[in-house]
Amino acid sequence: MARRPRKPLTARTADKLDLYQRSVQSPDVDVALMDRLHKRLVGHPPRLLREDFCGTAQICCEFVTLHRENRSLGVDLDQATLDWGRKRNLQALTPSQQERVTLVRDNVLAVTRPRADLTCAMNFSYSVFKARPEMLAYMKTARKGLKKNGILLMDLFGGPSAQEEEQETTRKGGFKYIWDQAHFDPVTHHILCRIHFEFKDGTRMRNAFTYDWRLWTLPELQELMVEAGFHNVHVLWEGTDSETGEGNSVYRRRLRGEADHAWICYVVGQA
């Protein structure tokens, strides 16, 4: 049977969480990295993954497809986003996979059980913690919620471009994704970011998401992890494609990085 052509997206018909997932998330790539990292640092694959600030829980859902013993726990404050994830992402799984995903509506600062093999805080969501004591409290809670030697994985963006008030537009299938660094204060490192979407018919979805964050630095996050009791704290830095000079999506443990204009890396610690 011929497939019905997809209706063009417009600001009126599009679903902002669907656009978000299509713009910023690659759960298959993320869980492959987590699986490899845990095998390397702990000696076996992770079986219980905790996704903090899980939103629509794409990582939780992807993780349980990797192995029949894999379980995941997603924690997020926003009921409507969790419900969307349940309906759209969980229901796409087999019944056995669905049973192995638990989503809880709670503050990540309040959840420490069950103890996970690996906890991830992705897409910089932990940046809502703008004061040092709050970030330290988050890391201590994350540590309490991990098994011995369990891993905390956080991504971070940085480089001079992260401190510029600028917009970056990326074309996606049927729409444009616009990352807007609307305001950055060099004194506090408070950063206000927004996501907008634009459609082929000229309509726009402005301020679909707003993030009132602190732009943390790599030394700060590593020092805080050590202070929170983590060991083997280190950075995974992206390699460079020798032909294009661009990042090659291969992340390796590195003691030094390059002074790139924009970079994304991972901070890792073991409980």
User: By the criterion CB under 6 A, which residues form the site for ligand SAM?
Assistant: 24-25, 53-55, 75-78, 81, 107-108, 122-123, 125, 128
How near is the Cβ of 5 to ligand SAM at its closest, in Å? 29
How near is the Cβ of 120 to ligand SAM at its closest, in Å? 8
How near is the Cβ of 214 to ligand SAM at its closest, in Å? 13
Which C-beta is closer to ligand SAM: that of 105 or that of 253? Answer: 105
How near is the Cβ of 96 to ligand SAM at its closest, in Å? 24
* Residue nearest to ligand SAM as judged by C-beta position: 55
Which C-beta is closer to ligand SAM: that of 126 or that of 199? Answer: 126
Which C-beta is closer to ligand SAM: that of 105 or that of 115? Answer: 105
Which C-beta is closer to ligand SAM: that of 55 or that of 269? Answer: 55
Cα 221 from chain centre: 16
How near is the Cβ of 54 to ligand SAM at its closest, in Å? 5
Alpha-carbon separation of residue 264 from 2, 70, 112, 245 (angstroms): 41, 27, 28, 15
Which C-beta is closer to ligand SAM: that of 75 or that of 116? Answer: 75
Which C-beta is closer to ligand SAM: that of 53 or that of 197? Answer: 53
β-strand partners of 192:
183, 212
How near is the Cβ of 35 to ligand SAM at its closest, in Å? 17
